[in-house]
Each structure stands twice: as C-alpha cells, then as structure tokens.
Amino acid sequence: MYWRERKHYILAVAVTIFIISVTFYLRNLPMLTFFSSLLFGATVLGIFCAYDYYRFQCRHRQRLQQVVPQVDLTPQSQAEQDLLKLLDEQKVYYENKIAGIKKFDEDLTDVVRIWSHQMKVPLSVLDLMGQTSDFTVDELKEQTFQLENYLDMLLHYLRLNHEQTDYRFTAVQIKPLVQSVVRKFAPLFIRKGLSVTIDGDATWTTDEKWLSFALDQIIGNAVKYTKAGKVRVQISPQSIQISDTGIGILNEDLPRLFEHGFTGYNGRRDKKATGLGFFLAKEVADRLSLRIHVDSEIDKGTTVTIKRIIEH
C-alpha cells in the first residue's frame, strides 16, 4: 500500500533524473559530476524515504488498533481519509446490524416466555380433562383452538422478522378474506352468543396471507374482550373498520397499545392476555404500507381502523 500511495512521487523523481541525465549528455557535461550528484541525492532521498516509511507503518499499526479509544487516526493523505471514511461507514453499518440482532433476540426471548406461559393454560386443561374424563367435544375443540392459535402466532412472529420473508402483492377481495377469519372464530362467537356483521366490499392490492394474520389478531381481540353484543366489520376501498361492544380500553393505555408485550389494564384483569396481538398487527401493517388507528371507550366498545396509505 505504501508504494501504491507514493507511486506518483517515485515517477516524478525518475522523470527528473532522466531529464537531468539527458541535459548532461546533450551539453557534453562531465558525467562523473552527474553520477556524484546522483549518488548524494539518492542518499538523502533514501534517508527521507526510510523516515516516511516508518511514519506510514506507525499509522498503519494505529489503524489496526482502532478498538483503543485514545488512538488518533488523523489522515495524512486523501487515500487515508477515504479509507477511514469507509471504515467508519462499515462500523456504523455493523453496529446497527448487531443492535438489531440483539433487539430481536431480546424480543424473541420475551415472546417465547409469554408464549410458553400461555401454552401451559390449555395444556393444563387438556391434562385435567384426560385425568377426569369429564369434558365435551366443544370444550376439547376450544382448548385445541387456543393451542393452534398461540402456535400460529409464534410462527408468524418468527417469519415476520426473517430477512427472507416473502410478500406477494396481488388483488385481494377483502370481504371473503374477512369472512374466512370470522369463520375461524365461529365457535367463540357461538359460545358467547355474539352476532357479527360484515358490510361493504373492496379490492386491495396487498399480501393476502399477512393481511389475514393482522385481521386475525384484531378480530380475535374483539371476540375475546366482548362479553355480549356484536362485532361489526365495515369495508371500504380505503379502510377496514372492526367495531365491538366489548369492555373497551383506557385512554391512558391507547398510546402504548402497539408496544411489544404491553397488556394494559384489561390485560392485567385477563390473565390470558399476551400483549402481542396489536403489536404483531402493527408490525404487519407497517410492512404492508397500512396504518392502524384505535378508538375506544370503557364499557362501550372499541373500533380498530386499518387504512391504506395512498401515495400520490
């Protein structure tokens, strides 16, 4: 690297020596004087090059010891300045990558902890059913549904944070998609005696699988926290609105509703709450260029609106 950086100086010295030698030859000057001067100049130049090379090696060792904060990496040339700029950019890039990996690892640990805790409930119920042989088919289906739902949530969370997650945007009929999600929760609607209405229809260009998952989390919450009344879904070309007559959400909990693992007041009352439903729905919405807004009033219900972001 040293010789590459100094190649222009070396070339300039070589050209200068060549010009002087030609001048001596053409003017018939004594060549002995030329060679004596050349030898003296080469000696001085050699000493200077040795000192310059020593300084270069010192700076090179400093670069290799960047982990030491007190090292002063002041660039001495444009090449060194460009190299240090590239190293700084690489450092920032990998620090961000490492920070992202650490955050994902922390979030995943928290998700698995919550998930494993929630899985114990239906597993314990199933174990009790097996020991007492006192259960109905509907009760058995409800517990297996809970297991499948929690497992599906974990798998989607892992896929969502994978770099190679594929998104396939196609024209999607929203009403049939909502109907398929509602059918999934049909046993809970029937058991609680809740009515459900789906009004309107529209076609969105989006990823059907991931939008279905987001709707799954929102409608699942609506059924879970509604003891009596109904769930209504209104579809328009610009939005999907899911309204329920449930217990509602405190105003002070609304700003933190989409935070990872946040359960709020209702979640603390309901020991089965994971705090992941709205968080995952928001993560999916961000990737699909959608916005989620929540309006709620205690003991009157909650309305969740999914809006398309239209770019002009």
pLDDT averaged over the chain?
A: 82
Q: What pLDDT is recorded for position 66?
A: 57
Q: Which of 179, 191, 184, 190 is nearest to 145 (CA)?
A: 184
Q: What pLDDT does 244 receive?
A: 93
Name the band, by pLDDT with cuts 50, 70 and 90, for residue 23. Answer: confident
Q: What is the mean pLDDT of residues 28-33?
A: 81
Residues 95 and 213 reside in one and the same domain: no
pLDDT on residue 233: 94
Using the predicted structure, report yes or no on whether residue 306 has a pLDDT greater than 80. Answer: yes
Domain boundary residue, one of 148, 165, 182: 165
152 and 183 together in one domain: no
Are residues 173 and 309 part of one domain?
A: yes
CB 210 within 8 A of CB 172: no
pLDDT of 305 strictly over 60:
yes
**119 and 220 in one domain?**
no
Specify whether 149 is located in the same domain as 21: no
Residue 164 has pLDDT above 70, yes or no: no
pLDDT exceeds 50 at position 219 = yes
Based on the structure, what is the number of domains in the chain? 3
Q: What is the pLDDT of residues 112-150, one digit of tens each?
A: 777 777 777 778 878 888 888 777 777 777 778 778 877
- The pLDDT of 72-77, averaged and rounded, is 68
16 and 93 housed in the same domain: no
Helices (H), 161-254: 174-184, 186-192, 208-224
**What's the CATH number where 225 sits?**
3.30.565.10
Residues 195 and 72 reside in one and the same domain: no
pLDDT on residue 197: 93
Residue 84 corresponds to which amino acid? Answer: L
Domain termination residue (choose one: 13, 46, 79): 79
Range of the domain at 52: 2-79
Whether 189 and 57 map to the same domain: the answer is no
Same domain for 98 and 26: no
Exposure class string for 100-126: b at 16+ Cβ within 10 A, else e: eeeeeeeeeeebeebbeebeeebeebb
State yes or no: pLDDT of 310 exceeds 70.
Answer: no
Mean pLDDT of 9-35: 82
Give which of 188, 110, 196 is closest to 143, Cα–Cα: 188
What 3-state DSSP class applies to 154?
Answer: helix
* 222, 295: one domain: yes
Shared-domain flag, residues 177 and 287: yes
In the chain, the percentage of residues whose pLDDT exceeds 90 is 23
240-255 pLDDT per residue, tens: 999 999 888 888 888 8
Which of 131, 165, 199 is the C-terminal boundary of a domain? 165
Higher pLDDT, 124 or 70: 124
pLDDT of residue 170: 92
Residue 156 belongs to what H/E stretch?
helix 137-160
pLDDT score at 208: 92
Do 117 and 92 belong together in one domain? yes
Greater pLDDT, 72 or 63: 63
Residue of 2 and 158 predicted with greater confidence: 158
246: which DSSP letter? Answer: S
Lowest mean per-residue pLDDT among 8-12, 65-69, 219-223: 65-69
Identify the H or E element spanning 67.
none
